[in-house]
Amino acid sequence: MHKEADIRLPLILGDKSYKDITEDIVKPIEGKAPKTWYLLFMISVVIALWGVGCIVYLLGTGVGVWGLNKTVGWAWDITNFVWWVGIGHAGTLISAVLLLFRQKWRFAINRAAEAMTIFAVMMAGLFPLIHMGRLWLGYWVFPLPNQFGSLWVNFNSPLLWDVFAISTYFSVSLVFWYIGLIPDFATIRDRVTKPLAKRVYKVLSFGWTGDAKAWNRFEIVSLVLAGLATPLVFSVHSIVSFDFATSVIPGWHTTIFPPYFVSGAVFSGFAMVQTLMLILRKAYKLEAYLHVKHVEYMNIVIIVTGSIVGVAYITELFVSWYSGVEYESYAFLNRATGPYWWSYWAMMTCNVISPQLFWFKKLRTSLMFSFFMSIVINIGMWFERFVIIVTSLHRDYVPSSWSYFHPTWVDIGVFMGTLGIFFVFYLLFSRYFPVMPIAELKTILKSSGKNYKEGYGHGKGYWDKHAEH
Amino acid sequence: MADKVIYAMYDDDDTLMNGAKHLVKEGVKVSDVYSPMPLHGIDPIIGVEPTRLGIAAFLYGLTGTMLAIIGIRYMMIIDWPMNIGGKPNFSLHENMLSFVPIFFEFTVLCAAHGMAITYLLRNKTLPGMPARNPDPRTTDDKFIIEIKSSENAHIEDKKLSDLIKSTGFIEIEEKKY
């Protein structure tokens, strides 16, 4: 058993046993769904259907139904794409990077955050596909032998790197998530009594037995997958930033983009985890497993990544002046004072100023404030991508072609629709899948559980002295 | 000879761990342990060898890198060199930099999936496989030690059952195969 200092706050509160952990996490799956779940699910389904309708309309009519024009050729579509990919960065970061750093508090959030990652990356992938206009030719992005002569995709292009990065990221995250889920599905399989549920979980659990060798392999697979996923997480958003950074548009052509995008992605990903988990813990009565300390840890990650983002914004401004390139300088001056000043300042307020409030312990340990901030950050990070994309494009080198972007109802509908689809998936996940890793929470019970830390009334440190090995 | 398998169930991982240690010290061969979570430190006690999946992952990754290099070299250098502003397009190493991201991604793709598939096959965990844990409670809060009589032929039955009795189990079951 790994010993933990007494001054560390326990990660699992209350008087929990192994049995309680199983009970607490499986109960919401076995019982009937509450009315609010059905209500939220219906709302999400309606929004999702509206979004699907918008996508079908877009595909049937053409990309012209979006508000794009000759100057602003990329707008909400790519903004949404980058926003969703960014959100999809927290899950694997939590389970991979925090695993390598042996951060045990990750167990409260990793399962749900990985699910969020997978659904968010699915939503992200949708945008480049529908942006092609001809969805059914989407497979052209892969280097497949074809009948068009020796026509291959261009491996020099960051857009192709993106194809590889995002499909690798999606599939590896999915595998990572599922491998963690198998033992927990086995727990549910061995508990449920309804015949249909038993059969379904039997298939899902792949016949997991939990023998010593299987757990031995499980731990190594998790570790190696974490080792592989860690550089993968950093590569994905770096490559997304290359889509912009390798172009010659003033405002995009900057070497600071990769680290700036990666920290922005982690920043927004953690914010989304907070938004979802703060509701989930209440709805599923999992307050003992995800409490103020976990939220505080997440808020610390938010301060760090938010500050990196802030420094990046300011560096960018400084370099645009210091470079002496007038187009570069103008691009940034125009962002802050041009027709899109409101989006620039929304971004600055939400992403640079507001996370600094978390330096106050009172604020970063307040659940209500954290929830509010998580929404603010999500909005801010959407504006960041909007600012980068639209304000850099809308005034190009020829003033006669300067323009302004107005989203149409299809732009808005598709974005709202992806939110709807995301929540449909997420609600289904939280209804049928274990939202916290049951097996892994059991491994930290004796080192980080409140009852064990306090020695069951024997006083602190009792088990350190009296543990039998 | 019919094999007899003894399953001793415990309600605490530390009790099981100490029990297993005790049994092994007395020369009993513990053939397996079933638990609801990974038990750190049980492997050396009951003699489970470290897995070689890490090495497998490395080899899968290496395969991925090689495939990516061969594939990209064929498509971009041999089959159809693209003329992009007259930049060199006739040798792999001069074009290598912009191929590195995909080399990396493909390496990770092959390593991760290769290892995951090997893991599932080695564990005999595939969709629809029957569960082979001796008791459904081992995925909840109970821990089981499995002892096969065929592997412990050198110990008398009486002595073996006394030894097991001294480990503090809560339930015991014998199955004949």
The Cα of A131 is separated from the nearest Cα of chain B by a number of Å equal to: 23
In a domain, B139, yes or no: yes
Phi, psi (deg, nearest 5) at residue A192: -65, 155
Do the Cβ atoms of B80 and A203 come within 8 Å? no
Domain boundary among B122, B143, B160: B122
Do B76 and B34 sit in the same domain of this protein?
A: no
Distance from CA of B95 to the nearest CA of A (A): 8
Alpha-carbon distances, residue B137 vs A27, A176, A436, B20 (angstroms): 16, 26, 19, 19
- Percentage of chain A modeled with pLDDT above 90: 46
Nearest to A143 among B18, B75, B132 (CB): B75
User: Would the pLDDT of A175 be above 80?
Assistant: yes
In a domain, A456, yes or no: no
Residue A424: predicted pLDDT: 95
The tokens of B173 are what?
A: 């079951």
Question: Is residue A235 pLDDT above 50, yes or no?
Answer: yes
Domain span at residue B11 reads 4-45+134-176
What's the pLDDT at A469? 42
* The token pair that represents A108 in the structure block: 């409260």
Residue at A72 is within a domain: yes
**A458 inside domain:** no
Distance from CA of B56 to the nearest CA of A (A): 11
By the 8 A CB rule, do A346 and A383 touch? yes
The count of other CB atoms within 10 Å of the CB of residue A432 is 15
Tens-place pLDDT, residues B32-69: 888 888 888 888 888 888 889 999 999 999 999 999 99
Say what the pLDDT of residue B159 is.
79
Q: Which residues in chain B touch residue A171, judged by CB atoms under 8 angstroms apart?
A: 109, 112-113
Question: Who contacts A190 (Cβ-Cβ below 8 Å, separation ≥6)?
Answer: B131, B133, B136, B137, B138, B139, B140
A338-396: pLDDT as tens digits: 899 999 999 999 999 999 999 999 998 899 999 999 999 999 999 999 999 999 899 88
Query: Residue B38 and residue A218: Cβ atoms within 8 Å?
Result: yes
The mean predicted confidence, pLDDT, of chain A is 88
- Residue B5 backbone phi and psi in degrees, to 5: -120, 130
pLDDT of res. A465: 56
Q: Are residues B149 and B109 in the same domain?
A: no
Q: What is the pLDDT of residue A168?
A: 93
Q: Do A224 and B57 touch (CB under 8 A)?
A: yes
Smallest CA–CA distance, residue A223 to chain B, in Å, is 9
Distance CA B58, CA B127 (A): 26
- Alpha-carbon distance of A468 to B17, in angstroms, equals 10
Give contacts of B84 with chain A, Cβ < 8 Å.
156
Is the dihedral angle over the CA atoms B119, B111, B52, A89 positive or is it negative? negative
CATH number of the domain residue A174 falls in? 1.20.1630.10
Residue A12 lies in a domain: no
Residues 75-104 of B with CB under 8 A from A: 75-76, 79-80, 82, 84, 95, 98-99, 101-102, 104
pLDDT, mean of residues A62-83: 90
Residue A416 near residue A51, CB atoms below 8 Å: yes
The sign of the torsion formed by the CA atoms of A94, A95, A96, A98 equals: positive
Residues B112 and B59 in one domain: yes
Q: How far apart are CA A32 and CA B75, in angstroms?
A: 55
Helices A76-87 and A409-432 sit at what angle, rounded to 10 degrees?
20
Residue B127 belongs to some domain of the structure: no
Q: What is the DSSP letter of A34?
A: P
Cα–Cα distance, A434 to A437 (Å, whole number):
7
Query: CA triplet B130, B133, B135: central angle to 5 degrees?
Result: 120
Q: Which residues of A91-122 are buried (b: 16+ CB within 10 A; e: fewer)?
A: bbbbbbbbbeeeebbbbbbbbbbbbbbbbbbb
Does residue A462 form part of some domain?
A: no
Query: Which two structure tokens, joined as six digits, stand for A417?
Result: 């629709």
How many domains does chain A contain in total? 1
B positions 113-152 inside 8 Å of A (CB): 113, 115-116, 119-120, 122-133, 136-141
Residue A295 pLDDT more than 80? yes
**Contact by Cβ (8 Å): A55, A417:** yes
The residue type of A277 is: M
**Residue A55 — pLDDT band, cuts 50, 70, 90?**
very high
Q: How large is the C-alpha radius of gyration of chain B?
A: 26
Q: pLDDT, tens digit, for every residue of A32-50?
A: 888 889 999 999 999 999 9
For the record, the structure tokens of A238 come out as: 């770096």
Residues of chain B with C-beta less than 8 angstroms from the C-beta of A221:
53, 115-116, 119
Q: Domain of B171: which CATH number?
A: 3.30.70
Taking CB atoms and an 8 Å cutoff, what residues of chain A touch B96? none
What are the DSSP calls for chain B, one per residue? ---EEEEEEES-HHHHHHHHHHHHHTT----EEE-SS--TTHHHHHTPPPP-HHHHHHHHHHHHHHHHHHHHIIIIIII----STT---S-HHHHGGGGHHHHHHHHHHHHHHHHHHHHHHHTT--TTPPP--SSGGGGTT-EEEEEETGGGTTS-HHHHHHHHHTT--SEEEEEE-
The minimal CB distance from B113 to the residues A143, A154, A171 is found for A171
Q: In the numeric block, which tokens belong to residue A201?
A: 């979980």
Mutate to test the interface with B, among A18, A162, A166 (most CBs of B within 10 A): A18
Q: For each of chain B's 177 residues, which pLDDT tens digit applies?
A: 567 888 888 888 888 888 888 888 888 888 888 888 888 888 888 888 888 999 999 999 999 999 999 999 998 888 888 888 888 888 888 888 889 999 999 999 999 999 999 999 988 888 888 888 888 888 888 888 888 877 777 777 777 777 777 887 888 887 877
Structure tokens at A22: 């199983």
- Reported as a single tens digit per residue, the pLDDT across A428-464 is 999 899 999 988 888 888 777 777 777 655 555 555 5
Instruction: Number of A to B CB contacts under 8 A, please give it.
Output: 214
Query: Is there a contact between A212 and B141 if contact means CB atoms under 8 Å apart?
Result: no
Count the alpha carbons within 13 Å of B126 in the hemisphere toward its beta carbon.
5
**CB contact (8 A) between residue B101 and residue A161:** yes
Answer whether residue A469 is part of any domain.
Answer: no
Q: Do B133 and A187 touch (CB under 8 A)?
A: no
- Does residue A319 surpass a pLDDT of 50? yes
Range of the domain at A124: 18-136+153-450
Least Cα separation, residue B126 to chain A (angstroms) = 4
Residue with tokens 């430190």: B41
Q: Give phi and psi for B70, each to the nearest 5.
A: -65, -45
Are B51 and A206 an interchain contact pair (Cβ–Cβ within 8 Å)? no
Chain B contacts of A145, Cβ < 8 Å?
A: none
Residues of chain A in contact with residue B117, where contact means CB-CB under 8 angstroms, are: none
In this structure, the answer to whether residues B24 and B69 fall within a common structural domain is no
Which residues of chain B have a CB within 8 Å of the CB of A215?
A: 35, 37-39
Which residues, including other chains, have CB under 8 Å from residue A93's CB and lie 6 or more apart? A233, A266, A269
Mean pLDDT of A200-204: 89
Stretch A394-422: mean pLDDT, rounded?
A: 91
For B112, the closest of A164, A187, A225 (CB atoms) is A225
Per-residue b or e along B122-144, where b marks 16 or more CB atoms closer than 10 Å to that residue's CB: bbebeeebebebbeebbbbbbbb
First to last CA, chain A: 8
**Residue B96 included in any domain:** yes
Which residues from B are below 8 Å from A153, CB to CB?
75
Give pTM, 2 decimals.
Answer: 0.91
Closest Cβ–Cβ partner in B36, B122, B136 for A439: B36
Position A318 in a domain:
yes
Nearest to A162 by CA among A82, A231, A90: A82
Q: How far is CA B160 from CA A293, B45, B113, in A?
A: 48, 18, 44
Q: Would you say residue A455 lies in a domain?
A: no
Q: Which residues of A57-73 are buried (b: 16+ CB within 10 A; e: fewer)?
A: ebbeeebebbbbbebbe
Same domain, B19 and B72: no
Residue at which a domain ends, from B100, B122, B144: B122
Domain count, chain B: 2
CB contact under 8 Å between A212 and B76, yes or no, is no
